[in-house]
Amino acid sequence: MSVDEGSYRDRKVIVIGVVKELTGLSERQIRYYEERKLIFPERTAKGTRKYSFSDVETLMEIANKREDGVQTNEIKKEMKAEKKKRNDLLREEMIRGQLNAHFRNTNNR
């Protein structure tokens, strides 16, 4: 069975106590970054927050930027811009692949 490299990083399996230990952030700080829509943990049926390894990495980046004096609203803008850039690149790759497939098929006729 093949495991997609990104799949384990994005699975929401880590509880807030472990995230706290991994990041050095307090539970209050972690919840605050959730309130500011910088991270998006899942909730269990009982309301327990579950985070992914990607969330932990994001929290570390946020903490580093906050230490440098960057405000959360600026971090959020940066994150949105990065996401848009990734989506644009993915869209370009998809279009390029479709064009290549189309012209490859056209040339084989």
Inform me whether the pLDDT recorded for 5 exceeds 80. no
Say if residue 36 is in the same domain as residue 57: yes
Q: Of 48, 60, 75, 70, which Cα lies nearest the Cα of 20?
A: 60
pTM above 0.85, yes or no: no
Inform me whether the pLDDT recorded for 109 exceeds 80. no
Residues 2-30 have a mean pLDDT of 88
Residue 30 CA to residue 56 CA, distance in Å, equals 10
Say if residue 5 is in the same domain as residue 46: yes
Domain that holds residue 44: 1-70
Say if residue 94 is in the same domain as residue 66: no
Inform me whether the pLDDT recorded for 84 exceeds 70. yes
Q: What tens digit of pLDDT does each residue of 57-80 get?
A: 999 999 999 999 999 999 999 999
When divided into structural domains, the chain yields a total of 2
Domain harbouring 21, CATH code: 1.10.1660.10
Say if residue 39 is in the same domain as residue 82: no
Say if residue 55 is in the same domain as residue 96: no
